[in-house]
Amino acid sequence: IIAYSSLVPLSTWRTAEGHDSAKTEKMKADSSAEASPFRAMAEKYGVSEAQLLLRWALEKGYAVLPKSTKEARMKQNIDLFSF
């Protein structure tokens, strides 16, 4: 399934000079921390951190709009209820 949304243009933040990531420096540091609680939970269930957080959001009733251009990640985004 491919869906288009006008909520956010795809990857326009990358067109600005010097922007190679949408993450802030603090977000980069936090996500690379060895003791990340999300990393520990994802490893426990054998899934990615993204899958863990997407499932949490769905269980809480939030609308989620995952996006990826990578086939493997698209499959992960669909496979949220196998764990």
pTM value is: 0.62
Domain ranges (residues) in the chain: 34-83
CA–CA distances in Å: residue 31 to residues 12, 58, 63: 23, 22, 23
Q: Indicate whether 45 pLDDT > 90.
A: yes
Q: Indicate whether 59 pLDDT > 70.
A: yes
Q: Indicate whether 76 pLDDT > 70.
A: yes
Distance CA 43, CA 63 (A): 25
Distance CA 30, CA 24 (A): 10
